[in-house]
């Protein structure tokens, strides 16, 4: 019941915040501001994890790898420290890689194998040894950055194709992890158009103010896709959209893009709040 209440609260908040969220369109926007409605979905309650050690795996980009956290812990180290208090001998394998998008996560990049097949192997090994397995998935930020940085003058059709491609990738990721026997927590994305690095124009210099407005809407569409894919595959959405982690200077590294140590502490708390719904 705790899980059902959490999901309903997440959907209600997202629905309340969806209209008007994002950067207001400028003269070079291709269309007026669009209202993105968050779907109301029914997700079967996940079973509680049994007692005993938990094998955890984290996959994603720089936010998972823990870039700019001066402690070196990132969110994954903090989550492990907390879980071990209740489930001794639990482990965490962090496969996150800075700069990776959902394609790279599945297929590999930079001469490295994909994170997904490695995560599936970790899950299968854990399950075969009688251990619970949990995978944390946080991917999509770089999909958005790259679309608008390298996509030229992005059209409505390109955005739709990109959304379908991202949704398909999420299907692959969640279905394989769930099929291997993992409980899966999947992050909703923040609105990157609101990050200071985007507003100051200090990175991804080809993205115009008008494209920031479009990216804001596309982030909402990505989140809708994540919620829908989570419902289909029995994964738990974790809300990083309705937070101030990426807009609050007290929680951001000086680059205006990544969390600082305090930001990673907040991130770990959010993951742990969701994980709590699965723990006995």
Structural contact between residues 81 and 92, judged by C-beta atoms closer than 8 angstroms: no
Q: What is the mean pLDDT of residues 162-172?
A: 98
Using CA atoms, how far apart are residues 72 and 179, in angstroms rounded to an integer?
32
The 8-class DSSP code of residue 41 comes to -
Which residue's entry shows tokens 């997904």?
116
Q: What is the mean pLDDT of residues 180-201?
A: 94
> 95: which 2 tokens?
């496969």
Q: What is the mean pLDDT of residues 65-70?
A: 93
Residue 46: which pLDDT band, with cuts at 50, 70 and 90?
Answer: low
Is residue 110 packed enough to be buried (19+ CB in 10 Å), middle (13-18) or exposed (0-12)? exposed
The 8-class DSSP code of residue 250 comes to G
Q: At what angle do helices 261-275 and 74-86 cross, to 10 degrees?
A: 40
pTM: 0.86
Task: Count the Cβ atoms, other than its own, within 10 Å of residue 201.
Answer: 12
Using CA atoms, how far apart are residues 101 and 62, in angstroms rounded to an integer?
10
Mean pLDDT, the chain, whole residue set: 86
Mark out the alpha helices in the chain (DSSP H runs): 2-17, 62-65, 74-86, 102-107, 115-128, 141-150, 156-180, 196-199, 209-233, 261-275
Nearest residue to 61 (alpha-carbon basis) of 272, 259, 277: 259
Using CA atoms, how far apart are residues 73 and 64, in angstroms rounded to an integer?
10
> 103: which 2 tokens?
């394609």
Domain residue extents for the chain: 2-18+38-275
Residue 35: which pLDDT band, with cuts at 50, 70 and 90?
Answer: low
74-129: per-residue pLDDT in tens?
999 999 999 999 999 999 999 999 999 999 999 999 899 999 999 999 999 999 99
**Class of the CATH-defined domain 2-18+38-275:** alpha beta
* Residue 15 scores a pLDDT above 80: no
Nearest residue to 223 (alpha-carbon basis) of 31, 37, 9, 24: 37
The 8-class DSSP code of residue 37 comes to P
* Residue 28 scores a pLDDT above 60: no
Using CA atoms, how far apart are residues 258 and 60, in angstroms rounded to an integer?
14
Q: Which pLDDT score is estimated for 49?
A: 82
Q: List Cα–Cα distances, 166 to 41, 86, 103, 106, in angstroms.
A: 19, 36, 8, 11
Radius of gyration of the chain (CA): 18
193-229: per-residue pLDDT in tens?
999 999 888 778 888 888 999 999 999 999 999 999 9
Structural contact between residues 223 and 211, judged by C-beta atoms closer than 8 angstroms: no
Q: What is the mean pLDDT of residues 1-16?
A: 40
- The phi and psi torsions of 144 (rounded to 5 degrees) equal -70, -50
């Amino acid at each position: 019941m705790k899980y059902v209440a959490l999901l309903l609260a997440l959907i209600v908040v997202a629905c309340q915040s969806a209209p008007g969220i994002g950067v207001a369109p400028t003269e070079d926007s291709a269309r007026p501001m669009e209202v993105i409605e968050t779907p109301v979905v029914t997700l079967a309650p996940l079973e509680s994890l049994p007692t005993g050690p938990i094998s955890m795996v984290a996959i994603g980009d720089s936010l998972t790898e823990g870039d700019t956290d001066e402690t070196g812990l990132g969110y994954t180290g903090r989550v492990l420290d907390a879980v071990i208090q209740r489930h001794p001998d639990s482990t965490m394998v962090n496969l996150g890689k800075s700069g990776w998008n959902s394609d790279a996560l599945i297929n590999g990049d930079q001469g490295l194998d994909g994170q997904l097949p490695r995560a599936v192997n970790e899950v299968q090994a854990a399950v075969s040894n009688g251990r619970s397995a949990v995978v944390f998935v946080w991917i999509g930020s770089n999909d958005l950055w790259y679309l608008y940085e390298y996509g030229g003058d992005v059209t409505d059709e390109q955005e739709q194709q990109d959304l379908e491609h991202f949704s398909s990738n999420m299907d692959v990721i969640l279905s394989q992890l769930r099929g291997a026997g993992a409980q899966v927590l999947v992050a909703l994305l923040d609105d990157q158009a609101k990050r200071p690095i985007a507003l100051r124009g200090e990175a991804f210099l080809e993205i115009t103010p008008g494209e920031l407005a479009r990216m804001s809407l596309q982030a909402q569409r990505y989140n809708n896709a994540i919620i829908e894919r989570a419902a289909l595959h029995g994964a738990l959405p974790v809300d990083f959209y309705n937070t101030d982690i990426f807009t609050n200077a007290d929680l951001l590294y000086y680059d205006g893009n990544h969390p600082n140590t305090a930001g990673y502490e907040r991130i770990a708390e959010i993951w742990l709040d969701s994980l709590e719904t699965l723990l006995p």
